[in-house]
Amino acid sequence: VSTHFIAMRAGTSIVRLYYNNTEVAAATITVTSDYTDYYTYMSWKETWKAQNWTSSMDAREKLRVAGQWVLDNLDYNTYNASQYLFAQGIGGTCYASAGFIYDLAKDLGLEAHIWNYQSEGHVGTVAKLEDGYWYLFEAGHAGTAGNRGTCIAAQMDARTLDEINLAPPNKLIQ
């Protein structure tokens, strides 16, 4: 069983799982912030696109530029897994970087996923581009802004999600 929970404002909710009308599990979810970070991020993301993308760029270059921007401008940190705080100049984990690139891929109308492709749990974004191939976009997992290397934008030898997801520890996360 999987579920998706979107919190719109601060508060506490109880999520209950029932099987044959019998409760089998319950979890209390406490949300400590409101949707302000999300709305701030969405506005910032549109401004970011206007400032960093040109009409001559294809989707691959746009996503590569996004990953490089993260590497050049935001420190890696272990406490922020949310791309929403990028709008406030706060760096983040590989999950935050992958989430930003994923959001931009979706804005471009691409099929995209966050992909766990290393045994230590490091993630990147995979997106299917116009040529029918999947590409990995990777924005690093260590270092300070400007010293974190180059964004990987690698074509994968895969045309289907099954081909990407074959070998452990690979796992599509979102």
Tokens 């492709």 found at: 117
CA dihedral 69, 97, 6, 110 (to 10 degrees): 70
Is 88 in a helix, a strand, or coil? helix
Determine contact, residues 156/164, Cβ cutoff 8 Å.
Answer: yes
The amino acid sitting at 121 is: G
pTM: 0.78
The C-alpha atoms of residue 24 and residue 126 are separated, in whole angstroms, by: 35
Q: What is the chain's pLDDT, residue by residue, as a tens digit (174 residues)?
A: 556 566 667 788 888 888 899 999 898 888 776 778 888 999 999 999 999 999 999 999 999 999 999 999 999 998 888 898 899 999 999 999 999 999 999 999 999 998 887 656 788 899 999 999 899 998 888 899 988 889 988 888 777 777 776 544 455 555
